[in-house]
Structure 1
């Protein structure tokens, strides 16, 4: 059942109930070995399968003169490879990270776009736990890359001691840099993705359910406001398509920047 349907049935009996964080706490679809499998969990698997299938199908029958599917796959791969890999990390070091960046971008993009697909209508990363899990994976990767390149002590110095800074001021700078570069980054990385997906979807939900409630239960004088609310819901839905793309791009871009910073010789 969609969010709108559940809210309308509730609103009809108790008056309009505005959507909130509890709207995203969906019951399990089914249970396996005592573990409830929820809709967001299923969407994660569906997004992974969709991304894998697309690139597998696009590359399965490679030809010198590409067909439409191969051309689409190569164009999408190249845009991330060149624009987010080579241009950010650098032509010397970017190649090992291209598969990760490509997978990351399209996995987030598909997961975000689920929020705009009828009958699915749920952006997976509007659940904070999933956004923080992905940010945690990114944290492990770029810190692991830096430690492998510079050693633990060298990487720690790179991330906490800016080049050209000396003297007593380091007593203030080093803790701030440690906190900013090593502890806060995954939090802000996840929060940016989660907050945008959560806020956009709950705003669209508010206009959609509120408009429907006004049309069905409000007085004749107020009903035109319900139509206006639906128009706003449609406008927000189109805006969300852009936001969903931008958040996938920004998340991947920041990952590339963090990897570049971990590999750099100076901070």
Structure 2
């Protein structure tokens, strides 16, 4: 397990200076990584996908808890050092680790040595939602996940219809999975210390939304519904449907009141509209 001194030593050895561009904030508190692993509820048969392992704090805590760990890292220096860190810190478990040098937003199933069943990661704040949505789309074997993200983003990912923070991320993640907040994380467990709070989001993939609707078309509908939050669906979907009148026709056929706003609809409502 890596403590604050280990993290700084490794960073100095590699000449690493955490960058905002890559959203790098390294966890250096062993208790926090243990808590993350416990909250992920992994089984000994799980193949875990970790995005942005950085210096390896969470990686080392995950290795004993799973069958195999695939770490996707965009930074070539960090990716090259991670297997060595695993051999140094956990030699008996290092064989479970595979490192893939790639941008997580470009990962496809063929890029990975095994099909992951769980996503556990401290995600860069600036790309957290796009990364989760991309991986859920590309990796159907992913059946659950626990990610640490900016607290505000966590609230949006797990928000329910009707709440002030419910929006596009809430609906799109709900298409794939049921999500819930799984706790807060203090700022002082990171180096460098971020100027925002963090939180954990847990999600479990469901297959209740089996539909012939094309995902891209559905997501385009969701984007249109939330593009102007204060407008009714009749007005907000005018461009999507071709006119406000046509939007009203489609909404009524789907059993949705045209006078509602996007934030009042659940993902199943959007599916019905897209099916029309």
Scaled by the length of structure 1, the TM-score of the pair is 0.23
Structure with greater Cα Rg: 1
Higher strand fraction (1 or 2): 2
Higher helix fraction (1 or 2): 1
